[in-house]
Structure 1
Amino acid sequence: MKIVCRLLQFSHLSFRFKTYNTLNLHARDRLRYGLQCYNRVPIICYSNLSDHDVKKRTEELTDCFMEARELMQDAQESMNTVYFSEDMQEASKAVAETIKLYEKFLKELNENQKKEVTRTIGLKMAELRAQYSAMEEELKAD
């Protein structure tokens, strides 16, 4: 951090003494190198989502989970009927979309928020994956 402050002072002085064009090249190079050293903090640790937004999106994911589970139940009930293939397509699309939204949501969160969301709905998503894979295995067995 001292390097960055000193470079900014150097840049300011060079501008003040009207030698900005020549001396600023050295300052810019040093600043660029300094930023490369300090820019190694993982960006994923920071989140722009407030707690209210996290709660709202968690509720939306819970609703998607419930809908996907209902579609899977409909597909299981319509097994060995004409409507099964359509119900199974809808269920697989809903499950894939729900899991995709969940994983995308986790990537947007910081570590504390990620732990909270995983604790809240992580088991539901794992259950959804397990039920869907069991349903696929049952179809392969038949």
Structure 2
Amino acid sequence: MKLLHRIYQCSRLSFKFKTYNSRNFDVRSRVNPAVINRVPVHFYSTLSDQDVKRRTEELTDCFMEARELMQDAKESLNTVYFSEDMQEASEAVAQTIQTYEKFLNELNETQKKDVTRTIGLKMAELKAQYAAMEEELKAE
């Protein structure tokens, strides 16, 4: 993060003092400095490590709740409560996956790798279990 910030500062200073040359030609004449000075937003994250940890724990809790609701729906198969349980399970799974993807979009690359390593497999497992459950219901 500090390295990217340092590169950004140096690039701004080099354009300001007109010292940015490459391969013996003036880059300023070919490239708009206003476009070059922009650093993509995905390099920066406004979330601290504590916020990332807290939200990761919240997602883990959502994952556990969605799995429990799926288990309840499986247990209530062929009963009056099945359709309601299945609807709750599908809403919980969709909400958990949506929250996870939104959370990943808010992170920088390093944080994204850490979160994916921590709970990425759980989210993939949740999707797979839900898809298997739907396939099993279609078969019956």
TM-score band, normalised by shorter chain: 0.7 to 0.9
Which structure 2 residue ranges, 5 or more long, are not aligned? Answer: 1-11, 19-28
Identity of aligned residues (%): 72
Instruction: Point out the structure with the larger helix share.
Output: 1
1:20 match: none
Q: Which residue among 39, 47, 50 is the counterpart of 2:48?
A: 50
**1:5 Cα deviation (Å)?**
4.6
Q: Does structure 2 conserve the Cα–Cα contact (< 8 Å) formed by 1:68 and 1:94?
A: yes
Pick aligned residue for 1:4 from 13, 16, 20: 16
| Structure-1-length-normalised TM-score | 0.78
CA distance in 2, matches of 1:64, 1:82: 26
Q: TM-score, normalised by structure 2?
A: 0.79
Show the 5 A alignment for 1:65-76. 65-76=63-74
The equivalent of 1:9 in structure 2 is none
Q: Is residue 2:34 matched to residue 1:35?
A: yes
Q: Which runs of 4+ in 1 moved over 2 A?
A: 1-6
Q: What is the CA–CA distance in structure 1 between the aligned matches of 2:137 and 2:16, rounded to whole Å? A: 63
Does the aligned pair in 2 maintain the 1:64–1:98 contact within 8 Å? yes
Question: Conserved in 2, the CA contact under 8 Å of 1:49 and 1:109?
Answer: yes
CA-to-partner distance for each residue in 1:1-24, whole Å, 9 max, x for gaps? 322356xxxxxxxxxxxxxxxxxx
Alpha-carbon distance in 2 for matches of 1:62, 1:86: 24
Q: Residue 85 of structure 1 aligns to which amino acid in structure 2?
A: S
- Figure out how many residues of one structure are paired with residues of the other and give that number: 117
Aligned equivalent of 1:136, options 126, 131, 134: 134
> Aligned pair 1:119/2:117, yes or no?
yes
Stretches of structure 1 that go unaligned for 5 or more consecutive residues are 7-29
Instruction: Tell me which structure has the larger Cα radius of gyration.
Output: 1
Shift, 1:36, TM fit: 1.3
Q: Distance in 1 between matches of 2:15 and 2:136?
A: 64
